[in-house]
Structure 1
Amino acid sequence: MRHGRPALSVAHTRCLIVGPSWVGDMIMAQSLFMALRERNPGLEIDVLAPAWTAPLLARMPEVHAALDLPIGHGELDLKARRRIARELRAHHYAQAIVLPNSLKSALIPWFARIPRRTGFRGEQRYGLLNDLRRLDKARLPRTVQRFVALAMPKNHLPALEDCPRPQLRTDPQAGRVARARLGLEDPRPALGLCPGAEFGPAKRWPSAHYAAVARYYRSRGWQIWVFGSQNDFEVAEAVCRDAGPDCTNLAGRTTLGEAIDLMAQTAAVVSNDSGLMHVAAALDRPLVAVYGSSDPGFTPPLSPTARIERLGLACSPCFQRECPLKHLDCLHGLHPDRIVRALDSLLDATA
């Protein structure tokens, strides 16, 4: 951020962030962490979130500690929340910033007696939060703006250019070790493909389209790495089967940390709107992001080396997990040659 803008509101030594439970949202939350530290260099930021986020938070130098939230998504479990809050009292946090909008998310800071508890209105959180913000969706259309706004005075609503871009730290040596373990020591450029999406099939570009892109880049001498979680194994396997040789299915075979380090070594990435899309953006990989049921105006890849491809049909974005019209035209109609042209153009521009 440039000089002359209003100072951020946290001027304390310790701040607790109640973090989100999605990879993409946690990456966008790094913009909040960066904004807080930019104005308050001595601030210690601890993030309370599910244990699986720890490898991701370890790649964010702004984070002092990742604190495990061992409560399932959607569970109330008041006993566990009180226990965690008692443990947190010893940290003497001056402020908590609550990113999820649920009532449950605001309970631990309240139980922990953290003096200032900041977050947006939602689910009758009056009293649990005492620095309650009204969300102006028109002036804060993007998730990253909403996160950064919670670090600022109530009347200062950040524009997108006010928001620092997420930048994940990588470990090149760990990447080399992962490549050796997975048999990826071929020095040819690698195209990363991310055909999964935890949210649901309405965000997944067809595997046959991914395979067509893979075949094109294979013909140019590239190798293909298909990323994903164990839940993405079948769709990743379908991509590799249709793409032919030199296509490696990594879905479920890497840790999150390894996936970050390997993606940092790709020459380019094609991805659905998913957590891995945000990983690629935070690594500044040349990236083509494919959108169907979701809105790139809400959660775009925050990188100058990213391009968005979508058809923009009248029925999209619908924000549904499955196509309510049963045709998924917003993705089936987005042909592979269009993605290839976009990526070739991007590679020429970033060469």
Structure 2
Amino acid sequence: MARLGTDILREELRRRVAEGHAGPHEVWIRWPRQLGDVVFALPFFGSLQASWNAEAAALGLELRWVAVGHAIGAALFAEAAPDFIAESLIEKGGVGKPDPWHLVRRWRKAPPVCVINLSQSVRLALGAWMARVPVRGGIADNHLSLLYTHPFKYRDLPVHLARRYEPLLAQLTGNRHLQWVRLGAHNLGGHRGPELLRAAGWTGEPYVTLAFGTRGYGKRWFPEHRTWPELARRLAAEGFRSVWLGGPDEVPLGKELAALAPGSIDLTGRTSLPEACALQEAAAGTVAIDTGLAHTAAATGRPTLTLMGHSPEPLIAPVGPKAIAIRGSAVDSYPGESEGFETHGSVAHRVHPERVVGLLKALLAEAGA
């Protein structure tokens, strides 16, 4: 049985103090590739960070937390507060990936006290092993267990993705309890988000953010040129302005949908991830399909309604205190329901905008209470 990570951390920090090492005392975390998976790892991260920061503070020290990952994952922390994530290293693929030799050179004088690999990356795990980082945690499913002091199984487990980190948290802190982490401008930054919204014509009225885009066609809300504009019109009738959010890939569709919903605001492709999250935090609520922005919205604690395709909610539903996931019937409820448009296997198309508005209003009432 591996020694508890907290004990190793404490001993390592004491050794460094005794040797006159002033820091920085870094903890590196390589995040998953997909935005939703990054958000699922946040309860683990927040629980670990709270425990280990307290251990360091008891010795009069501070830990410096470093994020590394793909452009989608690590970009969530690109504008973060220093006490949350001090540095975000975004991989660009190919030569942009961490070179183990470069990491060893960087870590020569002061290796991190811990490197945690929450992805399938070999480079970071190898670099940490070569640099003799004291605590090395990572996913054991990719046959890298020998590089880790604290390996754990992650894939193909019958529990929600967020809970799959419980065994690793237990190894590192002695506690399996995951604590939800609220995202927003206080820790992620993104302070230009409201400025972008005002520049686009927002005058302070309540708004709902709409996250409509994804590369997974089976997750989308077809027929999109009917469902989303109808939802925006119904929200307007309830006193809410609609704000369209999405990435660069969704810009053409966002423009088309906004044109079909006069008065709505299209910020598709115009925000960073932290800015989009700040806008979701300030919104009355969010309606989304099963995409990354559904997970960031839920993580802000604001009312979030996610329209599901065939993805199983028990494993991947957004995590948040005011988040619900809904789907249409598994079979057509009456003849001709799917005629005239492509569904791409999605069942979200069987959910009517009226039901979405009704459920969102219930969430908003709960949030108001």
Quickly name the TM-score band, shorter chain normalised: 0.7 to 0.9
Counterpart in 2 of 1:30?
Answer: 42
Counterpart in 2 of 1:169?
Answer: 184
Structure 1 contact 97–150 (Cα < 8 Å) conserved: no
Counterpart in 2 of 1:295?
Answer: 312
Counterpart in 1 of 2:338?
Answer: none
Alignment of 1:173-212 (within 5 A): 174-184=192-202, 186-198=203-215, 200-206=216-222, 207=224, 208-212=226-230
2:84 is aligned with 1:63: yes
AA matched with 1:247: S
Counterpart in 1 of 2:270?
Answer: 253
* SS at 1:338 equivalent: helix
* SS at 2:43 equivalent: helix
* SS at 2:347 equivalent: helix
Give the TM-score taking structure 1 as reference length. 0.81
AA matched with 2:324: R
AA matched with 2:284: A
In the alignment, the residues of structure 1 paired with residue 278 and residue 330 of structure 2 have an alpha-carbon distance, to the nearest angstrom, of 36
CA shift in 2, pair 1:257/1:326, >3 Å: closer
Counterpart in 2 of 1:48?
Answer: 68
Shift of 1:327: 4.4
Counterpart in 2 of 1:9?
Answer: 5
Shift of 1:66: 2.4
Counterpart in 2 of 1:142?
Answer: 160
In the alignment, the residues of structure 1 paired with residue 221 and residue 110 of structure 2 have an alpha-carbon distance, to the nearest angstrom, of 45
Q: CA RMSD in A?
A: 3.1
Counterpart in 1 of 2:254?
Answer: 236
Shift of 1:192: 0.7
Task: Indicate the structure (1 or 2) with the bigger Cα radius of gyration.
Answer: 2
Contiguous gaps of at least 5 residues in structure 2: 14-25, 57-62, 332-341
CA shift in 2, pair 1:154/1:283, >3 Å: closer
1:332 to 349, 356, 359: 349
In the alignment, the residues of structure 2 paired with residue 261 and residue 146 of structure 1 have an alpha-carbon distance, to the nearest angstrom, of 28
> How high is the sequence identity, in percent, across the aligned residues?
25
1:92 to 88, 106, 111: 111
AA matched with 2:38: M
* SS at 1:297 equivalent: helix
In the alignment, the residues of structure 1 paired with residue 4 and residue 327 of structure 2 have an alpha-carbon distance, to the nearest angstrom, of 36
| The structure with more helix, counted as a fraction of residues | 2
In the alignment, the residues of structure 1 paired with residue 141 and residue 190 of structure 2 have an alpha-carbon distance, to the nearest angstrom, of 42
AA matched with 2:36: G
